[in-house]
Amino acid sequence: MSYFARSDELPGWAAHVPEGWGKGWLKWSVGLSTKRPTESEQEALPYISNEDIASWTGKLLVEEPKPAEADSRTFQKDDVLFNKLRPYLAKVYHATFDGVSSGELLCLRPSEAVEPRFLFYVLVSKGFVDTINSETFGSKMPRADWETVGHQPLPLPPLETQQRVARFLDEKTARIDALIEKKRALLDRLAEKRQALITRAVTKGLNPNAPMKPSGIDWLGDIPANWQVKRLSFVTDVIDCKHRTPEYVDDGIPLVSTTEVKPFRIDYATKRMVSDDEFELMSEGGRKPGPGDIIYSRNASVGSAALVRTADPLCLGQDLCLIRPKAINSEFLEFFLNSRACLEQLDRELVGATFKRVNVDAIKKYFTLLPPAAEQDAIAAWLNERLSEEEANSSKVEKSLDLLVEYRAAIITASVTGQVADLA
């Protein structure tokens, strides 16, 4: 069982609060409601689950309520719902209506000494979430319980101060969130611009005056007259992964999975490693990725293609396939596989209801455009140069976005711990 400090020596992020503020364990001022809905309540009241709550902002992501699940709890207006599962700990909702919620949401009911909106900001503060995260338990789906959450510090200024802090944060975070949304919208536009550059270059070439011909494919339209249309299996070897889960070791050869594969990028800092013997077993049948090969995701990050640019050993995990060029420029092919021209084909081949995936036989039948070799080289070089400029622009926006997110978190923590002078 975890050790919990005395209330007069509260740890971590809430250790120091202004004189005159109360401080104690959250469970002393906030109760846990566990009431199950009656049959009529379950049918009549709106239902929300953890997926319906936006992380950090606490906004609802749904307009229409869904049918209630069997393991549900009632909540009432001004309750604060806290998600107890580790991936969703930052999902906190200040209820504005009576309803029914998933059993994975702890329904916290403030006493008269706690302003609900102030409680919301305490629970969504980074210090609180990080502390709970460090105390979660369970291997498959780590979670917190009321014992853990209730034994967290709750700064408790006078009600008037709590209300002032809540009003300030409502206004401040609304302005910051509006700026964040603008930054994210700009990033989306920049991504669309990059995608348009890639798609045009790999389907129309660099010469706007080049003679064109029908491709014979409705959604593709005309292509340069000296280009060919080939099936992917004609210009590459498409090699499926080994359908087995290897044994992992603490120190060994990195194993790449769908989690580590994104368009144009492989995360080599994967935490999963395999032994030399497992690596050789997983690499049988030409499955050892090498420079110039392309790793293609068939599930989760489905449709993401990334070129291997290192000779360092890398183990191919499940739900991936290896695309080994034999009659096409590797960089040109990486651009093509991540273009709308290929994503259009992927959309037609996806199978599965809950988790979308694509089968290797379908990938082999993708149509691929094949310009002359010199033109492939030129297109790849031009795109690399142009996209490095576009990536630099995106990096600036991402950096400013990160600063805004950090500032938002800092202002919440400072406000609920009395570090903002005009509020304390």
- 341 vs 148, 159, 225, 322, 337, CA distance in Å? 51, 59, 18, 20, 8
Given a cut of 90, whether residue 177 has pLDDT beyond it is yes
Res 278 pLDDT > 80: yes
The token duo for 95 is: 């209820």
Spatial separation of the C-alpha atoms in residues 75 and 34, rounded to whole Å: 9
Helix (H, G, I), strand (E, B) or coil at 130: helix
pLDDT band (50, 70, 90) for residue 10:
low
Per-residue pLDDT band for 11 (boundaries 50, 70, 90) equals low
Q: Is 370 helix (H, G, I), strand (E, B) or coil?
A: strand
DSSP 244-258: SPPPPBSSSEEEE-G
For residues 201-218, average pLDDT: 95
The answer to whether the beta carbons of residues 158 and 112 sit under 8 Å apart is no
Residue 203: the pLDDT is: 97
Instruction: Provide the pLDDT for residue 139.
Output: 72
Q: Which helix (H) or strand (E) holds 334?
A: helix 330-337
**CA–CA gap between residue 400 and residue 396 (Å, rounded):** 6
Which of the 8 DSSP states describes residue 308?
-
What is the average pLDDT value for the chain, to the nearest integer? 92
Give how far the C-alpha of residue 411 lies from the chain's centroid of Cα atoms, to the nearest Å. 24
Instruction: Say whether pLDDT at 7 is over 50.
Output: no
Mean pLDDT of 242-253: 92
pLDDT surpassing 50 at residue 16: yes
What is the rounded CA–CA span in Å between residue 91 and residue 247?
A: 34
For the stretch 89-142, pLDDT in tens is 789 999 999 999 999 999 999 999 999 999 999 999 999 999 999 899 987 788
What's the rounded mean pLDDT across residues 37-41? Answer: 91
Nearest to 105 by CA among 135, 143, 67, 142: 143
Q: What is the mean pLDDT of residues 186-210?
A: 96
Comparing 4 with 106, the larger pLDDT belongs to: 106
At 228 the three-state DSSP class reads strand
* Mean pLDDT value of segment 370-393: 96
Confidence at 343, pLDDT banded by 50, 70, 90: very high
Contacts (Cβ under 8 Å, ≥6 apart) of 69: 47, 49, 102, 103
Sequence-separated (6 or more) residues with CB below 8 Å from residue 218: none
pLDDT at 294: 98
Stretch 55-73: mean pLDDT, rounded? 85
In order of their start, the domains of the chain are 8-157 (3.90.220.20), 188-392 (3.90.220.20)
Cα angle for residues 14, 17, 21 (degrees, 5° grid): 120
Instruction: Indicate the DSSP class of residue 8.
Output: G
pLDDT given for residue 6 in this prediction:
40
For residues 389 and 379, what is the distance between their CA atoms, to the nearest angstrom? 16
Rounded to an integer, the average pLDDT of 400-405 is 96
Check residue 270 and give its pLDDT. Answer: 79
Token pair recorded at residue 262: 């994104």
How much is the average pLDDT of 220-239? 96
Asked if residue 1 has pLDDT above 80, the reply is: no
pLDDT at 157: 95
